[in-house]
Amino acid sequence: MAISPTDQIAPHIRIILADDHPIVRRGTRELIDNEEDMEVVGEAGDGLEAVELAIRLRPDVAILDISMPVLNGIEATRRIKAEAPSTAVLIFTAYDDKQYVRALLEAGAAGYLLKNAKGAEVIRTIRAVHSGESVLDGSVMRALLERDSDPGALSDFRSQHASVPSEEALSQREIEVLTFAAAGLTNKEIGAQLGISPRTVQVHLANIFGKLQVASRTEAVLTAIKRGYLDVEKIPQPPPGAR
């Protein structure tokens, strides 16, 4: 494991990198180091090291490959989210199979990005994941939501989990915000739909994340469906021009 020195003024986004290819880690680190608001605080060459780093350093974002020695990215994601739930996991991989995407999201990943992405997109995605944005195509999200809304699966989930305490229940406004988030709208677009500012949308999302104990929109939406807050059939299609 390699731990970078901490600056006197810590950047806003603390990141760990996990990939078994040193050249990939080096290239990604150089890209991130060019950003004043980001810092790579640790690197790992396998999935188990990534989990240990995440537990010890509690980074804002963990960037993981899928295929790694000892623990693959899916299992590493699951363990990181269990031990460091506030860490958002971004999968940076060469695989784009939807089965991988589904397994990673079920494990708690906030999003995924292919390794052929341009540098600017990598940086934008890191910021999006850190701020709780969903890094998923709308059609992929809807397919996942429809799968997770299966009545039998939901019944099994709800029978195994106690109901959320009343003081932690989502408010009607929070449910409205999350419904539009599930449709793939940005904070600005959600604000326009509800007549509130993007900043207010961000505050609502932060409250939702806290109540549901998640770190991303994707996790929040899937958890809200399983807890009965959202009905997939009532999630609107994004308006023309929405991302």
pLDDT tens digits for range 115-159: 888 899 899 889 988 887 767 645 555 556 655 544 444 444 344
Residue 32 to residue 4: CA distance in whole angstroms: 13
Residues 86 and 179 in one domain: no
Residues 126 and 147 in one domain: no
Residue 182 to residue 68: CA distance in whole angstroms: 31
Position with higher pLDDT, 2 vs 75: 75
What is the span of the domain harbouring residue 48? Answer: 13-130
On whether residue 145 sits in a domain, the answer given is yes
What is the model's pLDDT at position 142?
57
On whether residue 57 sits in a domain, the answer given is yes
Q: Which are the contacts of 173, defined by CB distance < 8 A and separation ≥ 6?
A: 194, 204
- When pLDDT is cut at 50, 70 and 90, the band that residue 5 belongs to is very low
- When pLDDT is cut at 50, 70 and 90, the band that residue 197 belongs to is very high
Residues 29 and 84 in one domain: yes
On whether residue 214 sits in a domain, the answer given is yes
Residues 158 and 219 in one domain: yes
Position with higher pLDDT, 3 vs 75: 75
On whether residue 2 sits in a domain, the answer given is no
What is the model's pLDDT at position 123?
93
pLDDT tens digits for range 46-94: 999 999 999 999 999 999 999 899 999 999 999 999 999 889 999 988 8
pLDDT tens digits for range 88-113: 999 988 876 667 777 887 788 888 78
Residues 122 and 22 in one domain: yes
Q: 72, 97, 130 — which closes off a domain?
A: 130
pLDDT tens digits for range 150-195: 444 444 434 444 444 444 789 999 999 998 888 778 888 899 999 9
Residues 121 and 152 in one domain: no
Domains held by the chain: number: 2
Query: What type of residue is 61?
Result: V
Residues 213 and 171 in one domain: yes
54's enclosing H/E stretch is helix 47-57
Q: What is the mean pLDDT of residues 226-240?
A: 72
What is the model's pLDDT at position 6?
45
Model confidence, pTM: 0.66
Residues 34 and 112 in one domain: yes
Residues 145 and 218 in one domain: yes
What is the model's pLDDT at position 166?
41
Q: Which are the contacts of 234, defined by CB distance < 8 A and separation ≥ 6?
A: 179
On whether residue 167 sits in a domain, the answer given is yes
Residue 125 to residue 214: CA distance in whole angstroms: 18
What is the model's pLDDT at position 214?
80
Report the CATH number that the domain containing residue 202 is assigned in CATH.
3.40.50.2300
What is the model's pLDDT at position 145?
60
On whether residue 4 sits in a domain, the answer given is no
Residues 119 and 145 in one domain: no
Residues 94 and 185 in one domain: no
Residues 156 and 82 in one domain: no
Per-residue pLDDT at 8 exceeds 50: no
Q: 95, 130, 165 — which closes off a domain?
A: 130
Position with higher pLDDT, 14 vs 137: 14
On whether residue 122 sits in a domain, the answer given is yes
On whether residue 210 sits in a domain, the answer given is yes
Nearest Cα residue to 65 out of 92, 87, 44, 88: 92
Q: 69, 96, 130 — which closes off a domain?
A: 130
Residue 162 to residue 159: CA distance in whole angstroms: 8
